Amino acid sequence: MLRTESYELLNKRFGVDLHRRLINKRRKMAEEGVSESKREKVNNLDVIQDDKKLIEGYVAIVKDMALKYGISSDLSKN
């Protein structure tokens, strides 16, 4: 549910279609001879990691959602 919401927000804010990009990525992998099982394991996060702007946008969206849902994490305490 949260993952779906984050992808929808990314699509909306950045004017992208992650589903279309995922289909295109899988199609390209098929053309390159990648096995079907490996193509099926590719997901939206793989699509996001291929685009620097989407990475930054997704991180911002996850941070916003953490604030929205009251999730607190102090990353400086490692």
> Mind listing the pLDDT tens digit for each residue in 42-52?
999 999 999 99
Cα separation, 48 vs 73, in Å, equals 23
Residue 58 lies in a domain: yes
Residue 26 lies in a domain: yes
Residue 78 lies in a domain: no
Residue 13 lies in a domain: yes
Residue range 15-20: average pLDDT? 97
Give this prediction's pTM: 0.82
Task: Quote the pLDDT of residue 12.
Answer: 97
Residue 24 lies in a domain: yes
**Residue-range definition of the domain harbouring residue 6:** 2-68
Residue 73 lies in a domain: no
Residue 47 lies in a domain: yes
Q: Are 22 and 44 in contact (CB under 8 A)?
A: yes
DSSP string, the chain: -HHHHHHHHHHHHHT--HHHHHHHHHHHHHHTT--HHHHHH--HHHHHHT-HHHHHHHHHHHHHHHHHTT----TT--
Residue 9 lies in a domain: yes
Task: Count structural domains, the chain.
Answer: 1
